[in-house]
Structure 1
Amino acid sequence: MRTKVQILIQTGISFDVMYADDIAISYGELNPKDLRDSIVDDLVTLKCFFNKLSLDINFTKTSYLQFQGRARFEYFTEKSLNIKVFNNKIERVETYKYLGLLIDESLTFQKHIEQIKNKVTPMIYAIRRIRKVIGIKTAYQLYFAYIYSHLIFMNPLWSVAATTTQNFLFVAQKKVLRFIQMKSRLSPSLELFSENILPLPLSPQYI
């Protein structure tokens, strides 16, 4: 059995998280050499530990994600880290999927939101096509199972994305609710929501 390791390079507090067969390690060093040495030391330690358990690290699926944040450190380039462990080069990636959440190095969550868009769009138009032959209860069951479930999955994390980035999902949510409730596209948005049908947490200007 091989264990996949994902390295997250982050400015700030250091912590280790392990879930199933994936491990995410976060670092806060600002010096590239210290950062590289810490990563290599940890991976060597992990490999030795796993070998004792007849496990191994899959270095071909090991990569690191460097969080940029608002301040981009010019001296943190791919070459400056040049991470190698047992002759295995650890590649840098711009986006990584962890526990279903697409994390990008700038923490815009744009790709994650695009992923949600691709998942919910077909069902939105499927509901539109069959709405006249199904009841409103069935339509809402489809909505909660195949659309709303994606809209709220890890929402507290990706909802920090720019409002303009999230806006498509809010527009899509209103569109499918109009299909379900068989309302005109010009009907007031506020009428679509209730205590049980909550809008995405966007700015009131989009309601």
Structure 2
Amino acid sequence: MISISDKMFITKEVNLATIAYFKKIVLRKSLMDFSFGPQSNNRAITDLFKSVNYYGFDLPYEIELALFERLRRFKNNLDKEELTALYFWGVNQKYLHYLEDFEYGDDTYSDKEFDWEFGRSLAYKIYEPNNSGLEEETMEELKVLLCNFAGEFDLSLVDEYTYEHIIEIIDLYCLSSNNSIPVF
């Protein structure tokens, strides 16, 4: 973020760097926490991961509740920088939705005014995630990501290669360039 007077500017470069940080640090931490038990040395797949893998997006209420509880604990244990990166990712995930809503809400802006006001609305979401609804939307996006991630695996036979395969897929998720629309 670059701040000039009382105006906040989030540049394309800042957004790209923040999303890269999210993927390298925060996403990896989230996927590892979801996949493996604590102190398991990446050798004990969590029951929650197995359950989400089994049910996919059609999660029973108890499992969905457990998943959201794990996500809440994960979010609460993030430091300020990690949490900000998480919210940047959340905005990037919902960017087109926010753009459509903003365009639908008012079409009287000039191009420059539109960019300015829309950018400020995105900055507001990042800096006031509770009041803007971004926190809830980001947790929902993380849930979708974890369900997609869990669906990548066939856990009918778990052996020594399963753990390595999970780590490989985590690496792919954390290095991929998809799900990032650097626009602000």
**TM-score of the superposed pair, with normalisation by structure 1:** 0.26
Structure richer in helix, relative to its length: 2
Which structure has the larger Rg over C-alpha atoms?
1
Name the structure, 1 or 2, with higher relative contact order (CA <8 Å, separation 6+): 2
Structure richer in strand, relative to its length: 1
